[in-house]
A = this chain, B = another copy of it.
Amino acid sequence: MTTTPDPDVRTDTAYAEMDALGVGALWRHLGGLFPSEPPARAIPYHWDYRRLRPYMLHFADSLSIEEAQRRVLMLLNPGMRDTSATVTGLYAGIQIILPGEQAQAHRHSSNAFRYIIEGAGAYTTVSGERVHMSPGDLLLTPGWRWHDHYHEGEGPMMWLDGLDFPLVNSLDTAFFELYSDAAQKASVPDDLSSLQFIHGRLNPSWIGDRGPSSPIGKYPWTETARAFEAIADHATGSEVDGISLEYTNPWNGGPVMPTMACRVQRLVPGFHGVARRHTAATILHVVRGEGMTVVNGEEFHWHEKDVLAVPSWASYRHLNDSRTEDAVLFSYSNEPVVKALGLYREELL
C-alpha cells in the first residue's frame, strides 16, 4: 500500500468526513480523556432527613403503592443527574411503605441492600425467605434474587435503599424481570440465613451453593450493637474512621457483595479523624448522634438519619464534637470494584 498522502484529502473537510465514519481526532480531546486527577463530576452533598421526611409522608398518603411500584425518594447527586446516581456507580434512595402495602416481587441484576431507618413490622422476602426489618438492620438483596416487601406492622416503615445500578447500567449488564405473582410465598423459615450464619463465626457445613455474594439475608442491629459493646473502648480503631467494622461475606471474608462494601463506624465523643482521600466513592448515613464531615474543605453538619455523598478522590474527615455522645455512621462504597480492577488509590492528608 502506498504511504503517500492523498492530495484529495483536505483538513478543512476531513473532520466532518471522519465524523461521518465514526472517527474523531484524539488530539482534539486529549485533556478531557486523560485528566490529571479524577474530575469532580459528583459533588459532595448532604441530604437532611428532616427536610425529606415530609415529602415521604406526603407521597405515602397521596400515591398508592400500586401506582408507585416502589415509593422511593432518589437521592440524586446534583453533579451527575444524567445517571441517576448518588455518587459514582452507586445509588441511594429513601423508601417508605405503609401497613398493608405490598411492593411487587421482581428481580434485577443490580445488587441491592436495605438499611432500616424507621418503623417495625415489615419484611422483605428474598428467594423465598422472609427477612424481618428493624431499625439498624442491614438486609441484602444480591443481584438476580427475587424480592418483594410487605408491611404487616403499624405506622410507616422507612429505609435506605442502596444499589449499584449506576454501575450495572454503565456496563450495559442490566436485566430486570417481574415475578409472576405479586409476592413470593415463603419457602423456608423466616430469617433462616441470619439464624444460620450470624453467630460465632460459624459456617453451616451443609450448604454447598456459594455464589459471589453473602448468603446472609440480614445483619441485625442487635449483633452490631453487641459488637460495639464488646469492643467498647479497647480498640485502637482507625485514626481516620474510628471503630470501623465491615460487614462480611461468610464464604470469603470479603465484602457482602462484589460491588459494594458496607461498613458501620463508631466515632467516640471528641473524635477528630485524620483527613484522607481515595478513589472509592462513598455514601454515609447517620445511624445515631450528630457531627461534622469536612469534604474538600466544606463543612457538612449532620444529624441522625441524614445522608452524605463523598465523591471519589474528595478529601474528607469526620468529627464528633459531642463530649458525651457517640456518633454512629453506616456507609457503603464501590471500593470492591476499584480494588478488583486495580484502580484503588488512597492518601492520608
Contacts and interface: CB of A to CB of B under 8 A. Distances in A.
Contacts of A1: 53, 118
A345 B177 CA distance: 15
A126 to B, nearest CB: 16
B171 A279 contact: yes
26 contacts: A5-B57, A14-B55, A21-B52, A26-B68, A33-B165, A33-B169, A34-B110, A35-B175, A36-B176, A38-B173, A39-B174, A88-B170, A171-B338, A172-B313, A201-B216, A201-B219, A201-B223, A203-B248, A205-B246, A206-B244, A211-B342, A213-B342, A248-B250, A252-B253, A253-B254, A340-B340
Contacts of A29: 74, 84
Interface in A307-349: 311-313, 334, 337-338, 340-345
Contacts of A251: 253
A4 interface: yes
A320 B13 CA distance: 36
Contacts of A187: none
Given A41-B172, A156-B3, A202 B247 contact: yes
B173 A247 contact: no
Contacts of A230: 194-196, 198-199
Interface in A181-226: 188-189, 192, 194-206, 211-213, 216, 219-220, 223-224, 226
A116 B230 CA distance: 22
Contact of A58 (B6, B205, B234): B6
B73 A23 contact: yes
Interface residues of A, number: 151
A47 B22 contact: yes
A132 interface: no
A30, A39, A200 — most chain B CB neighbours (10 Å): A200
A249 B109 CA distance: 29
A62 interface: yes
Contacts of A276: none
Interface string A280-312: 010000000000000000000000000000011
A279 B75 CA distance: 28
Contacts of A248: 201-203, 250, 253
Contact of A88 (B8, B172, B202, B232): B172
Given A57-B4, A219-B200, A69 B30 contact: yes
Contacts of A250: 201, 248, 253
B70 A26 contact: yes
B74 A23 contact: yes
A23 B70 CA distance: 15
A67 B175 CA distance: 45
A38 B175 contact: yes
A171 B80 CA distance: 12
Nearest to A240: B206
Interface in A9-39: 9-11, 14, 17-18, 21-27, 29-30, 32-39
Contact of A259 (B32, B42, B177, B342): B342
Contacts of A81: 24
A77 interface: yes
